[in-house]
Structure formats: structure tokens, C-alpha cells
């Protein structure tokens, strides 16, 4: 019983320390402002209203009661508010607030007081770690309650999957916070721990972006080569038919027009051969890193699962009952982007989260090992 009392005391102390931070109140206030802005978007019979009706966008397709209204509203929440606000701006503020947890704890006087309690070092370590994650979990929890109520009010959708943002954003933050904890224990410096974490975050983001760009370009070149090779087959058939009929002019034309697709296919295949080694190297590097962006994308995947039109199509002006837009051909880059998105959405959630948690366990294990063996 005394051990649990000590654990609760440490957890309460961590929580009260974070709650006392001015940034906690600042993030809470900003969260409420973002929710109010989100709730200010509404739909009526003629289109979309903004800022509680102060502005209006007429739309024949996106209005009250349409599936596109649901796609747009939930897409704004998952793809923009969660990915940009909670995962970037709010996470940076959270890192600034929580980076001091271990360095401040390891200062002379504070650590000796806690160590005097009948609690194992591993327990103290994980209680402190969970205390840091509470900062994010509580903030996201309050935020998602507001988003849930806004979606119910504006589009009459009471989807509990909206609350999936709580574990996913907390997981996303834990990938960064474990690096912060390790750096804080090694250096005992809040500023150094914060800078190391931001550098790691930037490096992870850069590798993910490069990997995505390389993959998309590879798909684009494959689409180009396939299209060119298909055209070559057609022209060869025309050349063969013309030759069989002794139509020299038609055969020459087919052979002449074949040169363009042949060059296009050759160029695309050469580009694929040049990019393949780089894609492999970057892919290997990515496997050693947590899947920050893919973890967050799981929310968007779930909320868009039953939608007739994806947010990407909606933003691109597709999916409407307009024949010209429906029959509009996409270029290779758009096709590649669509294929890349489909491949990303087919990656199992257990693989994304499992690989990231393995990384986190390794980092936390190293941090705990150092924490347990240092003299305090």
C-alpha cells in the first residue's frame, strides 16, 4: 500500500507541476479557440457557412445533408486540425513544457527526496514518463470532446472514432518524448533535451518526406513507362497490319510514331533504375524510425472509411455529379499520388504502431538503464 501511495504522490506531483506551467493554460486556451473556429463552420441548403454565418460559400454539391459535407467536415478535423495543430504546433508547446520533467527531477535535492521513498527506480521512471504524456492526453481529450460535439451539431454525426485522436496523438507524442527523456537523463539539461528532440523530429520528418517523394516518383515513372509501352504494342500491331496489306505509307507512319513512346519508356525505365538504390537506402533508414506521420494518418483512414468520396478528391474538385469532371483524365503524377495513397492506407495499423513501439521500448530501455545505474 505504501508503494502505491508513493506512486500516486509522484504522479500527482508531476501533474501539478505541468498544470502550473503557463504553457499548459496557453495550449488549453488555444485548443478552445481552434474548437470554436471548427464549430463556426456549418452547412445549409445552399452551401457552407463560415464564422457562424458571417461568410458563406455557395455550393451545389457540398451542403447540408450531403455525404460530401460529412467528408469535408471530418476531413478538416483529421487531416488539418489534428495533423497540423495537435501534431505540430501543440506538440512543440507540449515539448517545451515537458522537457524539464527529468532534468528538473535530477537536480540536487529533488531526486534525493523522491529516492528516500519506498519506491523502485523503474517505477519512479515510468511514473514520471506517464506524467509527461498526461500533458498531451488531457489536452487532446478536451479537444476531441469539443470536436465530437461540433460534428454532432453541424453534420449530425456522432462518430466515436473521433476520440481515436486521443490514443493516436498521445502515441505520436510518446515517440518524441522518449527521445526527450533519454537526452534529459544523459545531459540533465532542459534546453539540450528539447533541441535534441526537435532535431530528431526534423530528421524523422525529412526521411519520411524523402521516402514518400521517392516512392511517388517511382510510381509515376512506372505509370509513364507502362503507358508508353502499351502505346508501342498498339503501334507495332498497326505496323504489322499495314505491312501485311503492303501499305508502306501506313507502316512507315506507325514506325515513325513509335519513336516517341520508345524514348519515353526508355527514359522512364532509366529513371527507375537510378532512383531504386536511393529508395532502398532511405527505406532502410525509415525502418529504424518511428512512424510518426502514418500513426496520425490512421485517424483519417478510419473517419474516411465509409465516405463515398475522399477528401483529396473533394479538394481536387472530383466526385461531383458533373460528367466533365468525372471524365477528366489524370496525369501520371496524379495517378502516382493516388496509388501511393492507396498503398499507405493498406499498411496494417498493427505494423505501423508495432514498429514504432519497438523503437520506443528500445529508447526507454536505454534511458531506464542509465537512470538506474547513476548515483544520485
- The pLDDT tens digits of the residues spanning 28-63 come to 888 899 999 999 998 888 888 888 888 888 887 788
SS3 306: coil
Cβ partners under 8 Å of residue 213, min gap 6: none
Query: How far apart are alpha carbons 162 and 78 in whole angstroms?
Result: 8
Cα(first)–Cα(last) distance of the chain, in Å?
25
CB 95 within 8 A of CB 89: no
Cell 478510419 sits at which residue? 302
Query: How far apart are alpha carbons 94 and 354 in whole angstroms?
Result: 24
Q: What is the pLDDT of residues 265-276, one digit of tens each?
A: 899 889 999 999
- With 0-12 CB in 10 A as exposed, 13-18 as middle and 19+ as buried, what is 128? buried
State the average pLDDT for the chain: 82
Helices 67-75 and 292-303, axial angle in degrees (round to 10) = 160
Among 268, 290, 244, 363, which Cα is nearest to 87's? 290
- Looking at per-residue pLDDT, the higher value among 285 and 157 belongs to 285
SS3 301: helix
Out of 21-30, 203-212, 257-266, which region has the weakest mean confidence (pLDDT)?
21-30
Q: What is the pLDDT of residues 97-115, one digit of tens each?
A: 888 888 888 875 555 555 5
CB 15 within 8 A of CB 24: no
- Looking at per-residue pLDDT, the higher value among 83 and 14 belongs to 83
* Buried/exposed code over 30-57 (b: 16+ C-beta within 10 A; e: otherwise): bbeebbeebbbbbbeeebbbeeeeeeee
Within 13 A of 283's CA, how many CA atoms are on the CB side?
A: 8
Query: How far apart are alpha carbons 277 and 299 in whole angstroms?
Result: 32
Provide mean pLDDT across the span 162-191.
Answer: 94
Ordered by start, the domain boundaries in the chain are 2-373
Query: How far apart are alpha carbons 211 and 336 in whole angstroms?
Result: 14
- With 0-12 CB in 10 A as exposed, 13-18 as middle and 19+ as buried, what is 361? exposed
Give 328's DSSP letter. Answer: P
Amino acid at each position: 500500500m505504501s508503494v502505491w501511495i508513493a506512486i500516486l504522490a509522484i504522479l500527482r506531483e508531476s501533474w501539478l507541476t505541468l498544470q502550473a506551467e503557463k504553457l499548459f493554460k496557453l495550449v488549453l486556451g488555444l485548443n478552445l479557440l481552434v474548437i470554436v473556429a471548427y464549430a463556426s463552420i456549418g452547412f445549409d441548403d445552399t452551401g457552407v457557412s463560415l464564422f457562424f454565418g458571417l461568410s458563406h460559400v455557395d455550393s451545389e454539391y457540398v451542403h447540408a445533408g450531403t455525404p460530401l459535407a460529412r467528408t469535408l467536415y471530418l476531413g478538416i478535423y483529421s487531416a488539418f486540425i489534428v495533423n497540423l495543430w495537435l501534431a505540430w504546433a501543440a506538440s512543440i508547446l507540449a515539448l517545451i513544457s515537458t522537457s524539464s520533467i527529468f532534468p528538473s527531477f535530477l537536480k540536487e535535492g529533488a531526486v534525493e527526496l523522491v529516492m528516500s521513498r519506498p519506491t523502485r527506480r523503474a517505477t519512479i521512471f515510468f511514473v514520471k514518463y506517464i506524467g509527461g504524456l498526461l500533458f498531451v492526453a488531457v489536452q487532446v481529450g478536451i479537444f476531441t470532446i469539443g470536436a465530437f460535439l461540433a460534428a454532432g451539431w453541424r453534420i449530425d454525426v456522432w462518430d466515436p472514432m473521433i476520440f481515436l485522436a486521443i490514443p493516436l496523438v498521445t502515441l505520436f507524442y510518446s515517440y518524441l518524448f522518449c527521445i526527450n527523456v533519454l537526452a534529459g537523463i544523459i545531459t540533465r539539461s532542459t534546453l539540450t533535451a528539447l533541441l535534441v528532440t526537435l532535431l530528431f523530429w526534423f530528421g524523422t520528418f525529412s526521411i519520411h518526406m524523402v521516402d514518400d517523394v521517392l516512392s511517388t516518383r517511382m510510381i509515376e515513372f512506372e505509370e509513364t513507362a507502362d503507358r508508353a509501352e502499351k502505346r508501342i504494342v498498339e503501334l507495332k500491331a498497326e505496323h504489322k497490319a499495314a505491312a501485311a496489306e503492303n501499305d508502306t505509307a501506313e507502316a512507315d507512319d506507325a514506325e515513325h510514331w513509335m519513336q516517341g513512346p520508345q524514348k519515353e519508356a526508355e527514359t522512364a525505365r532509366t529513371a527507375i533504375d537510378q532512383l531504386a538504390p536511393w529508395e532502398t537506402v532511405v527505406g532502410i533508414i525509415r525502418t529504424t524510425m518511428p512512424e510518426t506521420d502514418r500513426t496520425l494518418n490512421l485517424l483519417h483512414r478510419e473517419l474516411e472509411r465509409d465516405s463515398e468520396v475522399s477528401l483529396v478528391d473533394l479538394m481536387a474538385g472530383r466526385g461531383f455529379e458533373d460528367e466533365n469532371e468525372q471524365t477528366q483524365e489524370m496525369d501520371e503524377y496524379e495517378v502516382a499520388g493516388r496509388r501511393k495513397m492507396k498503398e499507405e492506407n493498406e499498411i496494417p495499423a498493427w505494423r505501423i504502431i508495432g514498429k514504432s513501439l519497438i523503437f520506443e521500448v528500445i529508447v526507454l530501455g536505454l534511458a531506464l538503464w542509465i537512470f538506474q545505474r547513476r548515483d544520485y
